Amino acid sequence: MDTNKLMAMLPDIAAFVTVVESGSFTAASQRLGVTPSGVSRQISRLESALNADLLERTTRKQVTTETGKIVYEYSKKIMESAADIVHVTSQDLGEVTGELRIAAPKAFSRRILQPLMLEFLAKYPEVKLRLIVSDEFIDPFGHNLDFVFELTHFPRENLVAKSLGEIKAVLCANKAYLQEHGIPFHPNNLLDHDCLYLNEQPNDNVWLFSKDEDNVKVRCTGVTL
């Protein structure tokens, strides 16, 4: 029997199980929300499809035949499996468990991820979060990571990437400093100024400036944080 015919039988199988468990077409029709004659037609259709008598009909009740008893046991398993599917897919999301491993840059972790992680853990207390903080890219395959956050213009080709937004760096200076040392009008002018930068990675003092198609890199000197 092909799949289409089997699918067409499912409502009739459900009706048959209900009739057997209810004891009559009338009781089954009340549970199913249809008329007794409608239930009777479903049973007749199922018997025709299986080429077998499933019920012995009397004026007061329906008695299951020997074949009907066998069909009922299999049909009941089908209904129980369907109920299990509904139960599994409707489980409370609060039961989510497991481990989630993430890597992200330091500033992004501190300003964005850490507050969100507290909310996430409050909602899913059974989940274990592992956060690796580093400004250098961490290979997700080598470290068994689920997510990697990276600040980059060029997403890595071997990973599925999604842009979360843009971060713009702003060059700023103290007003008193500019009055004393002058205002730089080109990125290269920064070579003559004392710049304030992080000193956590080898290239933290290399600043990139872009305008249209022009890119300028400047290796600054000055004071580190």
The 10s digit of each residue's pLDDT in 155-168 is: 787 888 888 887 77
* The CATH fold of domain 3-90: Arc Repressor Mutant, subunit A (1.10.10)
The 10s digit of each residue's pLDDT in 43-102 is: 999 999 999 999 987 766 788 999 999 999 999 998 888 888 777 766 655 578 889 999
**CB 188, CB 219: distance < 8 Å:** no
Q: State the residue for tokens 């470290």.
A: 143
The whole-chain average pLDDT of the chain stands at: 86
The 10s digit of each residue's pLDDT in 124-172 is: 888 899 999 888 888 899 899 999 998 887 778 788 888 888 777 788 9
Report if pTM > 0.75.
no
Quickly count: other Cβ atoms within 10 Å of residue 47's Cβ: 19
The 10s digit of each residue's pLDDT in 179-192 is: 999 999 999 999 99
Q: Which CATH superfamily is domain 98-148 in?
A: Periplasmic binding protein-like II (3.40.190.10)
Per-domain residue ranges for the chain?
A: 3-90, 98-148, 175-219
% of residues, the chain, pLDDT over 90: 35
Return d(Cα 53, Cα 62) in angstroms, integer: 12
Q: Position 34: which residue type?
A: V
The 10s digit of each residue's pLDDT in 19-47 is: 999 888 888 888 888 898 999 999 999 99
Tokens of 181: 């040392």
